[in-house]
Amino acid sequence: MQWLDLTYLQAIILSVIVASTPLLLAASGELVVERAGVLNLGVEGMMIMGAVCAFAGAELTGSTLVGTAAGILAGVAMAAIFALLTLGLAVNQVATGLALTIFGLGLSGLIGAGFVGQRITPAPQLDLPVLTDLPFIGKILFGQDAFVYGSIVLVIGIWWFLYRTRPGLVLRAIGDNHGSAHALGYPVLSLRTGAVLFGGACAGLAGAYLSLAYTPFFIAGMTAGRGWIALALVVFASWRPARLVIGAYLFGGVTILQLHAQGAGLDIPPQLMTALPYLATIVVLVAISRTRGVAGSAAPASLGLAFVPDR
Amino acid sequence: MRLVLEPRAERSTAAAIASPLIAVGLTLLVMSILFGFLGKDPLNALAVYFLQPLTDSYSLQEMVVKATPLVMIGIGLALCYLANVWNIGAEGQFVIGAVAGSYLAVKTQGTDAGTWVLPAMLVLGALGGALYALIPAICRVRFGASEILVSLMLVYVADLVLDYLVRGPWRDPHGYNFPTTADFDPVATVPSIIEGSRLHIGALMALVVVAAAWTVLGRTIKGFEIRVVGAAPKAARFAGFDADRLVLFTFAVSGALAGLAGIIEVAGPVGHLQPGISPGYGFTAIIVAFLGRLNPIGILIAGLFLALTFIGGEQAQISLKVPLDLTKVFQGILLFFVLACDSLILYRVRLIRTRKAADAVA
């Protein structure tokens, strides 16, 4: 029985962690954005721009750190365009998010054309003398790259910010009722801008992870819908950070499951297995929305609505 | 320093017509800067992109061929967006329509089927697209799931269905293992308008769709209902309009149009079913809908213009050696400017230098 083999099980768990991390990174950022009442559908575009800029940075300087910084900056720059349009000019958020994705997919192809086919050294993994060598759990707990640990720290940080700090409370208030928050004197648009830029940084980081650690190379369209799945994960998590971790790892698991099932030579069309994460997203969206009832009471009440302050 | 928006007291028709033109102008400006960065002479590059295709008859025909799916899909999407319903999965409905219609073409291959095949294929294509679009619509009205995410996820699924069929059961046995069906029989092919030309009767059908949409939106209760539900949901409820039914209706119509465009594309210009039948028509049609200001006549013009960018992009790739992705960049920037300019119709934008007290963190 191959499944009982510990090294095989360890390999599966390791690959699940790797597949889940980009989803978790991108979804954490979007969670903060949506808690502030903004729906940025451009995650896919910010992510792919993060991926290509991170790869370009790492390839040109030979440094993973510079690459990561470039990826984050690219995500922030993309988010800034979104913020200018939706917050500065009160443009429809759904349409702007779509534009951001189309733009990002195109521009990343343009930038990445010169980098396709090149390889870099992947991001280094933690290697502690005794701990990493522990049987089974050693490699899982103490042998990851910085992105994986970073994603967990990020979620804890977001939880602490949203539920344990005053700005976090204000941010949630703005997301639930921007009119009242504005009347109380809270800076709705400034805080939202901050949240959107933070979301861009997270999406850029997620993209950087894809091209610096996950693969490590760049091909056009390599995000393959992960940005959209991250958006669905936020709904799955009912806009709560802790549930986001469960959701991201569940989806990472589905991705890996289909890869292993294809490898095991089961008599199922490979296309059906590849479609599994997308189908799972739909099933999960339906199930989660259904239990909450129509209109989704867990969603921030002002989500996706433009805000133009009265003067 | 920050931006302040002041609602305009009245909206002028002139501004509504000027706004897409300003958006196109600004996009061209950004594009010429981009060409400069790529080391190309901006004016020459713009000429290759946007003027050269207009000078020869082959490119002009090709422009109409490419505008046909864009206009058809764009009209359907406009109905959705007017009703504030977000179908962004037209690309998937296009593919499923192509698959559903191709079923007949593949099954009647080589038999002596009559002229009924093509009309039946078109009906099947529209039906396939409509049913596929109803999945996100039902998920939304029945379970409250986001139609945006569900319709988008189904795009990936549709591509995989197509991939499975042309690599598996429908593959041409004499096709040297290429993932494609055999070329459709003449009775399963959309006829040309003029013998030997690429122009096919799909273009005429797109015109009919434009006229029909113009009539429905401007002259019927249904069109009124769509606009009221989108613009004033509360008023629509008082008027007794059923928003849920309208979600199903707009999704079904836009899916049917996307599916019809899909089957026309494979039974016309492509001639067989294969992966990659669409260079992103379903997504570009979103831009077409907005650039056309969700107005059928506007969409017709916007569809032709965006078709031009596809052809210009191909020509620029050959003669200027610029990547094909430049077309997507152009389309993305165009949508940014279109949306931004639309906002300028509703609001007056003012820059204020001093920070207001109310803006300081309390």
How many CA atoms lie less than 13 Å away from A167 in the CB half-sphere? 12
* Distance between A181 CA and the closest CA of chain B, angstroms: 11
Nearest one of A165, A192, A152, A213 to A25, comparing CA atoms: A152
User: What are the pLDDT digits (tens) for A135-185?
Assistant: 777 777 777 788 889 899 999 999 999 999 999 999 999 998 888 888 888
Burial code (b: 16+ CB inside 10 Å, e: under 16) for B181-197 equals: bbebbebbbbeeeeeee
Q: How confident is the model at residue B361 (pLDDT cuts 50, 70, 90)?
A: very low
ipTM of the complex: 0.88
Average pLDDT over residues B189-193: 86
- Is the Cβ pair A99, B344 closer than 8 Å? no
* Distance between A106 CA and the closest CA of chain B, angstroms: 5
* Distance between A2 CA and the closest CA of chain B, angstroms: 29
- Is the Cβ pair B144, A295 closer than 8 Å? yes
The whole-number pLDDT of residue A208 equals 94
- Which residue in chain B has the smallest CA separation from A290? B143
Other residues' Cβ atoms within 10 Å of the Cβ of residue A41: 26
User: What are the pLDDT digits (tens) for B214-231?
Assistant: 999 989 999 899 888 888
Encoding tokens for residue B129?
Answer: 């697209």
User: What are the pLDDT digits (tens) for B86-96?
Assistant: 999 999 999 99
B134 and chain A in contact, CB less than 8 A: no
DSSP state of B185: P
Q: Lowest-pLDDT range, A108-112, A212-216, B296-300?
A: A212-216
* Distance between B197 CA and the closest CA of chain A, angstroms: 32
**A311 pLDDT higher than 60:** no
Block residue for tokens 């189309």: A102
Residues in chain B within 8 Å Cβ distance of A89: 3, 5, 340, 343-344, 347, 349
Residues in chain A within 8 Å Cβ distance of B327: 106
Nearest one of A277, A280, A252 to A21, comparing CA atoms: A252
The whole-number pLDDT of residue A130 equals 72
* C-alpha–C-alpha distance, residues A70 and A200, integer Å: 12
Average pLDDT over residues A271-299: 78
Cβ-based contacts under 8 A for chains A and B: 164
- Position with higher pLDDT, B258 vs A264: B258
The whole-number pLDDT of residue A4 equals 57
Cα-to-chain-centroid distance, residue B194: 26
Q: Which residues, numbered 82 to 121 in chain B, qualify as contacts with chain A under a Cβ-Cβ cut-off of 8 Å? A: 86, 88
Using CB atoms, pick whichever of B150, B168, B336 lies closest to residue A99. B336
The whole-number pLDDT of residue B204 equals 93
* C-alpha–C-alpha distance, residues B46 and B43, integer Å: 5
Q: Lowest-pLDDT range, A116-120, B163-167, B209-213?
A: A116-120
Encoding tokens for residue B245?
Answer: 């039914």
* C-alpha–C-alpha distance, residues B94 and B132, integer Å: 10
The whole-number pLDDT of residue B354 equals 58
User: What are the pLDDT digits (tens) for A59-104?
Assistant: 898 888 999 999 999 999 999 999 999 998 889 898 899 999 999 9
- Is the Cβ pair A89, B3 closer than 8 Å? yes
The whole-number pLDDT of residue A294 equals 45
* Distance between A94 CA and the closest CA of chain B, angstroms: 8
Q: In chain A, what are the domain boundaries?
A: 10-223
- Is the Cβ pair B149, A113 closer than 8 Å? no
- Is the Cβ pair A109, B336 closer than 8 Å? no
Using CB atoms, pick whichever of B6, B86, B325 lies closest to residue A110. B325
- Which residue in chain A has the smallest CA separation from B85? A94
Using CB atoms, pick whichever of B149, B330, B347 lies closest to residue A285. B149
* C-alpha–C-alpha distance, residues B187 and B184, integer Å: 8
**A310 pLDDT higher than 80:** no
**B360 pLDDT higher than 60:** no
User: What are the pLDDT digits (tens) for B241-252?
Assistant: 888 999 999 999
Using CB atoms, pick whichever of A99, A224, A288 lies closest to residue B332. A99
Task: Kindly report the average pLDDT of chain B as a whole number.
Answer: 89
Q: How confident is the model at residue B357 (pLDDT cuts 50, 70, 90)?
A: very low
**B355 pLDDT higher than 80:** no
